[in-house]
A = this chain, B = another copy of it.
Amino acid sequence: MKKEHVEQIQKAIKAIEERQIDNIFFVACGGSMASLSTGEYFISKDTAVPAFVYTSNEFIHRSPSALGENSLVILRSHSGETPETVEASSFARKKGALTIAISMEVESPLCQNAEYILHYNYKDGSDAIDGELGIFYTLLFRILKLITDNEKYKRAEKQLENLGSLIEKNQEKFKKAADQFGRKNKREKLIYTMASGVYYHQAYSFTSCLLMEMLWINSNAIHAGEFFHGPFEVTDYDVPFLLVVGEGPSTPLDLRALDFAEKFSDKVEVVDIRELDYDGIDPDLKEYFGSALSGSVLRLYADGLAEHTGHPLSVRRYMWKMDY
């Protein structure tokens, strides 16, 4: 990791250490919120510290009573310009919370607002450890280590060194299946996604940012545990599902949903995170790395759709084109 990044994380962790932290808020919009949700998942699973995720505007308007001087607020925006998230950082600071902004643009309004900044590289060819995954998971492992003092987070941080090669290997491994998915589904106007546990957030991100935003394909990210309590009644032979089978404690939920979906739909695609290459990762750390790696694997399935529909992922009709 670059020295600049190491120092930024150290500073942020030191600030957390010096403060009595009663709760952690993860605040962002869209794909950035989904990424931060990974933090909420592991904090709530591994520690007793209350952790919450809010989309930035809901955070401001609800104004949770627990937000105050003993709160840690972690915000994230790719450009650092997302107006709601910029406003949320001002709001959190006014409440006296400790604020950390994660962004690729350190000169952005979000980074100017927040007390601590974590910069990440984006598509500049540098090592994955300096990219959004490397920076965020390093922060997350440090926070988990700080709270629990469990040695495994040190190992986890060390094993982040494998991130770059694992992304590459796993993209290679899933490339063909993802392309086939694109070919088979190129005429679909609606594709449901499904997942549970930490992978639910990947499904949400895939639904909101890749299918709906970038491909204009209708979708809904269904929680595999919720599937049988309403949504499953839409299942039919011609209803497509992209189902993420997770590597983690809620895998049985995914498998139950998969079993049903495959029985009644001819269009079920499975992305089985258990089948990822976890070379260099200890067995007890697979869930952390499964969640870190699943995004780059899922991305290929959107690439497949883009390729076969002739609709590039960069096309927008509203975003960046007008005020709204």
Contact = CB atoms under 8 A, between A and B. Distances in A.
Contacts of A57: 196, 225, 250, 253
Nearest to A190: B218
A111 interface: no
Contact of A58 (B61, B196, B208, B213): B196
Contact of A231 (B66, B208, B231): B208
Nearest to A209: B230
A288 interface: no
A55 interface: yes
Given A45-B64, A56-B225, A190-B190, 18 more contacts: A23-B50, A29-B225, A44-B52, A44-B66, A48-B68, A50-B66, A55-B226, A57-B253, A58-B197, A61-B197, A61-B252, A62-B249, A82-B229, A207-B220, A208-B230, A216-B234, A232-B318, A260-B324
Interface string A192-226: 00001100000000011100111011111101011
A296 interface: no
27 contacts: A29-B228, A30-B229, A41-B62, A44-B52, A44-B62, A45-B64, A46-B65, A47-B65, A48-B68, A50-B50, A55-B229, A58-B196, A58-B225, A61-B197, A61-B249, A61-B252, A62-B249, A84-B225, A190-B218, A208-B229, A218-B234, A220-B221, A228-B319, A228-B324, A232-B318, A233-B317, A235-B318
